[in-house]
Amino acid sequence: MWRPLLLAAIGLPLLLACSDEQVGKLQQDASAAIGVAGNKLQQASAPLAEIKQQAATALDKAGTLAGELQPKVQQQVEELKQQAGVVREVVSAWQGKGDWTVLEKQVGQYPRDSGLFDKPPLAAPLKALLGKDLAKFKLFMDTQGPLQQDRLLFVTGNKRHAAQDGAAYLLIDVSQRKLEAGLIENGLLKVYASEGTPLQPPAEVRTFIGNLQRQ
């Protein structure tokens, strides 16, 4: 619709001053020029539309990614909160709020009866030491001996009816507030120890380890 109007606007003054042949030539030239201008306009708008489409696609992907990451971030925050709680418990115990000397009164008692692994002052430090392997440690202590003392406090145990599959020991240095735990699984020993100079296992514990550890 706009092309005839443009032709009229451009061509009217020229038509008045030109012959019929010249008028026809002018109309053809004007029509060709308008056609070229229209093509260029369409060509210029094509990349713009493509850019808009790419931008919309990128925004959609960003929104999807943000939705997928949110649960993972929340899970990590919860894990950090739990770890912070464990650290607070350990600091509390090691700052003297847990009296380790009371453990000496439990010599001769079985950990399941005294709550050695689950009550203060040992529960928090033991959990911090073993982390996710605390459950395995307790499983390997299912059949257990009583708490004993030979310089250090110690206790040994193994899986019920399966000592060769899983066994464990725990050393406790009351004066230095240090622990060492060992898990022996299928003959392989894994040791978890407090920082500093390693504890020296009593002879009975060394024999216990030697009988179960793969040579």
**17-57, pLDDT tens digit by residue?**
455 666 566 567 656 666 665 665 566 555 667 767 877 88
Q: What's the rounded Cα separation, in Å, for the pair 144 and 103?
A: 17
Which tokens sit at 200?
């020296």
- The pLDDT value recorded for residue 120 is 95
> Model's pTM, two decimal places?
0.57
Q: DSSP assignment, residue 116?
A: T
Question: 14 pLDDT band (50/70/90 cuts)?
Answer: very low
- The pLDDT value recorded for residue 85 is 66
- The pLDDT value recorded for residue 11 is 46
Could you read off the pLDDT of 122-145 as tens digits, one per residue? 999 999 999 999 999 999 999 999
State the residue for tokens 């406090």.
Answer: 153
- The pLDDT value recorded for residue 63 is 77
* Mean pLDDT (whole number) for 188-198: 96
| Cis amide bond preceding 121, omega within 30 | yes
Q: What's the rounded Cα separation, in Å, for the pair 61 and 59?
A: 5
Total Cβ atoms within 10 A of residue 150: 11
- The pLDDT value recorded for residue 182 is 98
* Burial class (CB within 10 angstroms; exposed 0-12, middle 13-18, buried 19+) of 168: buried
Could you read off the pLDDT of 76-108 as tens digits, one per residue? 768 777 777 665 655 554 444 578 999 999 999
* Mean pLDDT (whole number) for 146-155: 98
Where do runs of H (alpha helix) occur along the chain?
A: 2-17, 20-92, 111-114, 123-130, 134-140, 203-212
- The pLDDT value recorded for residue 29 is 67
- The pLDDT value recorded for residue 91 is 55
- The pLDDT value recorded for residue 36 is 62
Length of the chain in terms of residues written:
215
Could you read off the pLDDT of 160-181 as tens digits, one per residue? 988 788 999 999 999 999 999 9
